[in-house]
Amino acid sequence: MAKQLIRALIPVWLIVGCVSVSHAQTASTMLANPWAAERAVDFTADAWGQSKGDTDQTGMDVRLSRYQAAGRWRLEPNDTLSPSFAFNTHRLDIHSPDTALPQRLVDVSFAGAMMFDVDPDTTLQVILGGGYAGDNAFGDGGAYYGLADLIVTRSLGEHRGYKLILDYDGHRTFAPDIPLPGFIYYDRLDDQTTYTLGFPSSSITWKPNDKTTLRATYFIPTTIKGIIEYEVTQPWSVYASYDSSLNAYKLDSDPNNNRRLMFAQQRIEAGVVWRGREGDSFPGVELRVAGGYAFDQAFTRGFDVRDTDTVRDISDEPYVRVAIISRF
């Protein structure tokens, strides 16, 4: 019953704008995002753990937990052309006697970026990096992957412009073996609404008033995420979110180098946020504590999302999550 109710509610969330990009994020993805003015560092750490469930195929017990840390920094926060660097790492622990499932999956990536002025209205960003995604940490040569991006940004006004993108991501769950072109148009409609429109992602952020923020993005082909946040009183806010994710890993025991284990999941959660402000003891620090429900969880095997075979379906389970974010 709970699963049917959640499925019924998701389209409503999307209509009100509760969607944002959540494909398998890498260090290069983080560097492609614009910086806030005069900010030098963004850092996030979070952990979630589910209650014990089971697999549909065998009925064996399974419990999932995930830990992630990601960050980026730039050398000169007042210089838009400053070199910048990023890392992203996560670990998925799988507690189960089922031998079809590995005990642990890890993904670690690093990248660096340089920005160049082409003319007064155009910049070129070059991003290079690499990573490892597998079950045997740094022990499987087939689990390493490369990252590379060329991004041309053309300003058409103070808040309007477009980006031309050529992206290679050897960790993508869709066509990881070829570079993909992209185009994004961005604009600010008014003080409340900004949006991007294009391929591979489109998004919208809407602030109907000073206390409420809604964010929405879709990333082709399969991932969406969204959040609605309401400030109750400084420094406390409450939020509700929907998230879908898909990650891929190379198994050391699999002799087929073109086949990966993928984990797909959808989550709906609600929680509280404490956000430090200027003049507080911890300015730029944000703490989130939440509870949620994970559903449509599955491990599949294949080269990418276009052709996969189911390994195990995991039961729907509640979870708790804690996250800390620091920006300065």
Domains identified in the chain, total number: 1
Residue 11 DSSP one-character state: H
Give the pairing type, strands 201-209 and 193-199. Answer: antiparallel
pTM, rounded to two decimals: 0.87
Residue 200 DSSP one-character state: S
Q: How confident is the model at residue 25 (pLDDT cuts 50, 70, 90)?
A: low
Between CA 65 and CA 234 the distance in angstroms is 32
Q: Say if CB 278 and CB 303 are below 8 A apart.
A: no
Half-sphere exposure in the Cβ direction for 279 (13 Å, CA): 2
Q: Which residues have C-beta within 8 Å of that of residue 324, sequence separation ≥ 6?
A: 44, 45, 46, 285, 286, 287, 288
Q: Which domain holds residue 222?
A: 2-327
User: Residue 2 in 3-state DSSP?
Assistant: helix
**What are the pLDDT digits (tens) for 132-178?**
999 988 888 889 999 999 999 999 998 999 999 999 999 999 899 99
Q: Please report the pLDDT score of residue 8 as a whole number.
A: 39
Position 225 pLDDT exceeds 90:
no
Q: Please report the pLDDT score of residue 296 as a whole number.
A: 96
Q: How confident is the model at residue 123 (pLDDT cuts 50, 70, 90)?
A: very high
| Sign, Cα dihedral of 152, 157, 159, 160 | negative
Q: Say if CB 79 and CB 87 are below 8 A apart.
A: no
Q: Please report the pLDDT score of residue 9 as a whole number.
A: 39
